[in-house]
Structure 1
C-alpha cells in the first residue's frame, strides 16, 4: 500500500502527527524526570528502558505506571491519591527543566515534513503530552515552524484513542477525514485514526508497549518517514 493508493491517486491534503515516539525520541528526558521524581519520593529509579514501555497515555498515566513499577498501574496498592498528586507535581517540575535536553528528532522526519509542505499540505500535531510541554519541545527541536496547529493531552476533555483531538485539529486545518492522514507510533494513534475515519501510517521505531506495530492495523507501516517520499 502507498500513500497515493490511500488517497485515490493523490497525496493527503492534511497530515496530523503524534509527537513522542513519532517525531521526537523524548524517552531520555521523560525517564530522567521520572527517576528524579522517584528519588525525591525515596523510591528506586526505573531507568529509560522501562519508561519507554510506559509512554503514550499522557503524564498522569506515566506517573501512575512509574509508581506501580508496571504498565498495568490499576493494580497498584502501594500509592494513595495524595502520593500520586505529589509525584505528579514532582514530575512536572523535573520535566519542565529537562524537556528537550536529550531528546532527538528521528531520522527521516524533517525531510518528509519538507516534502509535505512543498506539496501544499497543512500539518498539525496531536499528542497526549500536556500542553505545557508540547510547544516548548517543538520549539527546542526546531519543529514548530512546520506546524499550524498543536492539540495536547489537556487541550480537550478527551485524549487519543478518542477521535476528538484528531477531528479538532483536522477542522482547524480545513481538512476532512477522507483527505487527512494520521501518523503515529502506537495503538492509541491507530485507534484514534480509525475512530475518526481517516487513514493511518505507523512507524516501527516508537513506543508500542512491547507489541509489534505491524500487528495493530495501520494502513502503512514504515521504518522511517523518509520511505513515504
Structure 2
C-alpha cells in the first residue's frame, strides 16, 4: 500500500526518522564501544547480539543495561561513581568508532529520493546524544537530506515523550496531522501516537523483541520501498 493512502492520497508534508535501527545499522559500532567499556572495567564483555537488544533509549540507558548485563535494570544497581566512569569510557570508545562499521539500511535512499521529489521536508529525531548523531549522519552521507536533527540531549525529554517530535515538526513548519514518523521501536510508535502523527514501523531494526504488528503502528514494513 502506497504511503499516500495514509494522507488522503497525498504525500506527507513532513517525515521524521529515527536513526539507529531505522536509517542506519549502528549496532556493530555500539557493540564494540560497549565491550571496550566493559573490558576497561574488568567486566565480561557483552557481544553484538545483546547490544542490539539494549539500544534505543539513549546512551545512559545502554550503559546501565551493559553494567547490569540485562535489558531490565534497576537504576540504582550501579553506584553513581561506577556509572559515571562507565559512561565516560563508553563515550570515549564510541567517539573513536562512530560510523566505522555502521551501514545504511537497504531501501532508505530510494525513499529519501521520493520524499525529495515530492517536496517533503525531512528531519531526524533520535535518542542518541547529539554529539554522535551529526558525525554518524555525515559518515553515512545522509546529513544533507535532513533540515532538522533532534538528539537525545537536545531537549529535557526523549522519546517516547512526544515533545521531540513536536519540536522537529515545528522547526520544519509542519502539521502533526500531515507529518509521518518512521521508526523501529515501541519508543517511536508511542511517541508518534502521543503526538497524533501517523507512524510506520520498520521490521529490521532494534525493537526489543516486541511484535510490531501488535503496537498500533499504521504500517509495518520490511523495507521503506514498500511505501513507494
TM-score (norm 1): 0.98
Q: Contact 2:64–2:75 at 8 Å: present in 1 too?
A: no
TM-score (norm 2): 0.98
Q: Which residue number corresponds to residue 21 of structure 1? A: 21
Q: Contact 2:2–2:226 at 8 Å: present in 1 too?
A: no
- SS at 2:113 equivalent: helix
Q: Which residue number corresponds to residue 5 of structure 1? A: 5
Deviations 1:9-44 (A, max 9, x none): 111000000000000000000000000000000001
Q: Which residue number corresponds to residue 56 of structure 1? A: 56
Q: How many Å apart are 1:228 and its aligned residue?
A: 1.0
Q: Contact 1:190–1:200 at 8 Å: present in 2 too?
A: yes
Deviations 1:139-179 (A, max 9, x none): 00000010000000000001000000000000010000111
CA, structure 1 residues 44+201, in 2 after alignment: closer, same or farther (shift >3 Å)? Answer: same
1:1-229 to 2 correspondences below 5 Å: 2-74=2-74, 77=77, 79-229=78-228
- SS at 1:37 equivalent: helix
Structure 2 residue runs without a partner (length 5+): none
Q: Contact 1:13–1:121 at 8 Å: present in 2 too?
A: yes
Partners of 1:154 and 1:76 lie apart in 2 by: 21
Partners of 1:216 and 1:104 lie apart in 2 by: 27
Partners of 2:144 and 2:39 lie apart in 1 by: 37
Q: How many Å apart are 1:75 and its aligned residue?
A: 7.0
Where in structure 1 do 4 or more consecutive aligned residues deviate above 4 Å? none
Structure 1 residue runs without a partner (length 5+): none
